[in-house]
Amino acid sequence: MNPDKRHYPLWELLVPPGSYGKPERRAVAATGARLRFDDGSQVLDATSGLWNVNLGYGNAAVADAVDRAMREASYLTLFRYSHTYALDAARALTDAAGPAVFRRVIFSTSGSSANDLVMKTARHHALLTGEPQRRLVVGFKGGYHGLTYGAFSLSGEELGQHLYGVDTRLVRHVDPDRPEDLERLMRREGHRVAAVVCEPVFGSGARELPPATLAALLELRREYGFLLVADEVATGYGRTGPLFASSTWAQPPDLLVTSKGLTNGTCAASAVLASHAVCDAFERADALLVHGETQAGTPPTCAAITATLEQFAELSALESGARVASALDTLLGELAAELPFVTATTGRGCFRGIQLAEDDGAPYSAERVQQAIAAIRGHGALVHPGPGCVQLVPPLTLTDEETHELCTAVHKGLAEVR
């Protein structure tokens, strides 16, 4: 290791120590849709931070709401208490997601911890409904639900679970492209399944859950009685078109997880929305769910949640996102027609993947994907890596000029890397 690195105080996430401290990766400012780095470069950010700054950086209304809450009630707990900021945010969330479906909100601090909470809630619900044998939670291969221990076990990618001693004994994974595998699992173990957790669009590669698999899920839920959980950590808040992607399903989920767009990236926050039926089970038994997080649902966080929803309406963010998505449709069509190594485009709305392959048909390696990202950045835009692909996750509020700038950078960068 470089001797200077011994004095570098920050443990950077998801990069090896040899890559620490690079000025071209060290951001110093973020405004609107642009990032400025310590090497002097400035780029259009088509990653929306970590897919969470859906309204762009520096939204004044959200910042003002957080500032007011910090001054009026800097910290209030939800441990054995409540507060008006949390009540207002919960009401705003259920109203936005559909009060006919969802009754209550449980606040958490990240998508990972919210998925831990989901697994606990589903197993407790099974006990309350007289089916204590329901301990299994099912996810999909290739799905991503987080890196805390519960969510890590549920994530269907190989991310070193064995290395870290993650306990997967009560978790099952099936191929999302093979609904028959899900049906086979249910015939074998359906009476033991507490919940199935799925992303409407998979974060890894921006692949949509196949309609046939969703249809099978809904029918199997009716037959076997498990809870259906929509993990909308990534797809929520207009990322795929509607406020929540699962609102287009033929039947709603029993639990909905939201996080990334929840505060427009300003606070560590997530939430689990629970249906009327789930709440009924806990109310009938007056059952206490054993979960709590010190920083979950604090006044500043809840103020940010409420203000973000208000800004979605004021800025017509869903309509703006539809305009950006239309431009991405055109870009992806052009890329697929003009560049033979673009083998497929995936996702919908402002959540897209560009699948890349070598001449022999092999998907791009992680190194080749990074080369593509570097080339696109060289033309002024920052995009996200995925398995064998480049992902586009821009703010919903890009102007027409910024959208054109993004499309130009992606087109030129991919042509160059080839």
Per-residue model confidence as pLDDT tens digits over 373-405: 999 999 999 999 999 999 999 999 999 999 999
Q: Are residues 349 and 306 in the same domain?
A: no
Choose one of 298, 314, 330: the last residue of a domain: 314
Checking if the pLDDT of 7 tops 90, the result is no
Q: Are 245 and 325 in contact (CB under 8 A)?
A: no
Closest Cα to residue 252, out of 378, 103, 106? 103
| Residues 334 and 364 grouped into a single domain | yes
Domain that holds residue 379: 3-55+316-417
Checking if the pLDDT of 156 tops 50, the result is yes
- At 394 the pLDDT is 98
pLDDT of residue 5: 67
Predicted pLDDT of residue 179: 97
Indicate whether 275 and 366 sit together in one domain.
no
Domain boundary among 314, 345, 371: 314
Using pLDDT thresholds of 50, 70 and 90, give the confidence band for residue 1. very low
Arithmetic mean of pLDDT, 173-181: 97
CATH of the domain at 167: 3.40.640.10
pLDDT band at 417 (very low <50, low <70, confident <90, very high): confident
| DSSP notation for 267-286 | S--EEEEEEHHHHHHHHHHT
Contacts of 203 (CB under 8 A, 6+ apart): 51, 143, 144, 233, 234
What pLDDT, on the 0 to 100 scale, is given for residue 4? 65
pLDDT at 6 over 90: no
Same structural domain, 108 and 247: yes
- How high is the pLDDT of residue 209? 97
Q: Which residue has the tokens 């910090």?
A: 70
CB 377 within 8 A of CB 385: no
* pLDDT: which is higher, 397 or 204: 397
Average pLDDT over residues 361-369: 94
- What mean pLDDT is reported for the chain? 96
pLDDT band at residue 263 under the 50/70/90 scheme:
very high
Same domain? 14 vs 83 = no
Distant-in-sequence, close-in-space partners of 86: CB < 8 Å, separation ≥ 6? 76, 78, 107, 297, 299, 302
pTM: 0.96
Please give the tally of structural domains in the chain: 2
pLDDT digits (tens, 9 = 90+) for 320-341: 999 999 999 999 999 999 999 9
Place of tokens 């950077």: 12
Same domain, 304 and 349: no
User: Is residue 2's pLDDT more than 70?
Assistant: no
Same domain, 142 and 258: yes
Residue type at position 68: R
Does residue 90 sit in the same domain as residue 50?
no
CATH number, residue 410: 3.90.1150.10
Residue 347 near residue 207, CB atoms below 8 Å: yes
Share of the chain above pLDDT 70, in %: 99
Segment (H or E) for 48:
helix 48-51
- Same domain for 327 and 255, yes or no, is no
The verdict on 251 and 351 lying in the same domain is: no
Q: Backbone dihedral region of 370: left (phi > 0), alpha (psi from -120 to 50 degrees) or beta? A: alpha
Residues 280 and 398 in one domain: no
Domain termination residue (choose one: 281, 298, 314)? 314
327 and 299 co-located in one domain: no
For residues 288-297, give the mean pLDDT. 97
